Amino acid sequence: MGIVLLSVGVSLLETHLRRERAFLGNLGVRPLVIGLLFAAPALIGELAIRAGGTVFR
């Protein structure tokens, strides 16, 4: 789960550094949604690795 949390952290940091929070806020996008969008690929990858590990053990 570390990689998922890292992805969320990096996404929030990036939007902060790029000063995109106001733009995203004006779009009606909540920080939680941004975090989830960034977490999704990491979560899918994490689950695929675990599933692969189980199948090919």
Q: Considering Cα of 30, then 31, then 35, then 38, what sign does the dihedral take?
A: positive
Among 5, 30, 36, 50, binds another protein (CB under 8 A): 30
Q: Tokens in use for 41?
A: 């690929």
Q: Which is nearer to another protein, 25 or 45 (CB)?
A: 25
Among 9, 13, 18, 49, binds another protein (CB under 8 A): 18
Taking CB under 8 A as the binding criterion, the range among 5-13, 24-32, 35-43, 46-54 that sits at the site for another protein is: 24-32
The answer to whether 1 and 46 are in contact (CB under 8 A) is: yes
Least distance from C-beta 32 to another protein, angstroms? 9
Angle at 15 between CA 41 and CA 40, to 5 degrees: 15
